[in-house]
Copies of this chain bind each other. A is one copy, B any other.
Amino acid sequence: MKFLLFTFVGVVHLFSLNSGKAIYKNDISRRTFQEIKEEIARYKDVAKAIINLAVYGKAQNRSYERLALLVDTVGPRPSGSKSLEKAIQIMYQNLQEDGLENVHLEPVKIPHWERGEESAVMLEPRVHKMAILGLGSSIGTPPEGITAEVLVVTSFEELQRRAPEARGKIVVYNQPYVNYSKTVQYRVQGAVEAAKVGALASLIRSVASFSIYSPHTGIQEYQDGVPKIPTACITVEDAEMISRMASRGNRIVIQLKMGAKNYPDADSFNTVAEIIGSKYPEQVVLVSGHLDSWDVGQGAMDDGGGAFVSWEALSLIKDLGLRPKRTLRLVLWTAEEQGGIGGFQYYQLHKANISNYSLVMESDEGTFLPSGLQFTGSEKARAIMEEVMRLLQPVNVTQVFRTGEGTDINFWIQAGVPGASLVDDLYKYFSFHHSHGDTMTVMDPKQMNVAAAVWAVVSYVIADMEEMLPRS
């Protein structure tokens, strides 16, 4: 996941769902809500069959095992790398062998950045080798590195206030972790803000909920007209130590060396597979996760898990011999971490067909035990989603939160298509996010089973109902 824009506001029930009369004004459907409820309730046995297969049956642990095989084989899959290319080839083959339909690749030009060799050594007040990770898209330093005194600040406001002190220095941001969407601004804009006040480089405290001296990388963005300076993340531990040293009046000097380089855009693909709809094949429920990752760890959690429970959703439906009325489309995005490049390309290519998209789903915030679904859509659509989620009572995952989102599906959501995402333990997610620790060790097969069951039930029922989800 690159960054989040939503604010988490919890569960909301706006309708009396027991009402038998049409509760919607200007309802496109002439059916009463009671009729819709009854239609959804008839999926109870199908939902149970999906759950039984995913959680207790022969498909249990399948998405975990499939994912482990891929990420152990190819490792991390950064945008523009050979390993991402290899992963896409493997997945293309996997999806065909799985018997899915219309398996194909949609070309996308994607950024190609490599970190190269990198190091940071504190020279004063004491020699200390620091763990760092260059931030995606950062330029490198000269080969001899940048050796400069440090100005440490805890916020952009403090940087502004102390702007005259920043010139010629390395700015260290020791911003507290509030939540990801707020704190990630320091990763994304830290270099630009530091460059504006004359800094030579910037280092940010890793955006992480928990640390064992673990740097957490991610994309950063330069700005036209502002000098490009090298930028990396350091650990929470080092950021706090530097802050303590500065508060004692210590002069702090760091030597930063980064071999980071941006290469010409590379060829890549969104990977697509379908179960073609029986009655409205042109209408789509899109289920997705991204196949690329950062270049550290295994990209098992971000977003191997999301990609593989999405695949698993289609596998489960196919294994049960089900074919919904609408087309279920799996998309495994490329270059999400570079800012949703694959997702944007897909939107450009397919937006003419937007009226046929009933629901867009992306899992990119972990596939631990889900507590429910985040959903963005009209209140009518939300009421329907709440009914659908009742089908997941057997695995006790029934809540519908606000706000569904995902870097790759936000284009559709902003254009009015209902969107859904999985909700789970974000504290755990941001403990490992974009770090060397994003490996299969974080993943739990039983939790992935439940996540896949939720994903399959929701996507199948929405794809099979008589009518598309109503929009605002």
Contact A212 B437, beta carbon cutoff 8 Å: yes
Contact B213 A72, beta carbon cutoff 8 Å: no
Least CB distance from A254 to B in Å reads: 15
Contact B75 A439, beta carbon cutoff 8 Å: no
Q: Which of A111-161 contact B (CB under 8 A)?
A: 125-126, 128, 131
Contact B244 A212, beta carbon cutoff 8 Å: no
Contact B126 A241, beta carbon cutoff 8 Å: no
A432 in the interface (beta carbon within 8 A): yes
CB-defined contacts of A432 to chain B, threshold 8 Å: 212
A457 in the interface (beta carbon within 8 A): no
Interface membership of chain A positions 236-261, coded 1 if the CB is closer than 8 angstroms to chain B and 0 otherwise: 11001100110010000000000000
Q: Across the two chains, which residue of chain B brings its CB closest to A128?
A: B75
Q: Which of A429-468 contact B (CB under 8 A)?
A: 431-432, 435-437, 439-441
Interface membership of chain A positions 191-203, coded 1 if the CB is closer than 8 angstroms to chain B and 0 otherwise: 0000000000000
Per assembly, the copies of the chain total 2
In this complex, how many residues of chain A approach chain B with their Cβ under 8 Å: the count is 32
A126 to B75, CA, bound (A): 8
CB-defined contacts of A41 to chain B, threshold 8 Å: none
A105 in the interface (beta carbon within 8 A): no
Contact A72 B245, beta carbon cutoff 8 Å: yes
Least CB distance from A133 to B in Å reads: 12
CB-defined contacts of A376 to chain B, threshold 8 Å: none
CB-defined contacts of A75 to chain B, threshold 8 Å: 126, 128
Selected contact of A436 from candidates B74, B131, B298, B440, CB within 8 Å: B131
Contact B435 A212, beta carbon cutoff 8 Å: yes
Contact B73 A436, beta carbon cutoff 8 Å: no
A406 in the interface (beta carbon within 8 A): no
Which residues from chain A sit less than 8 Å from chain B, CB to CB? 68-69, 72-75, 125-126, 128, 131, 210-214, 236-237, 240-241, 244-245, 248, 297-298, 431-432, 435-437, 439-441
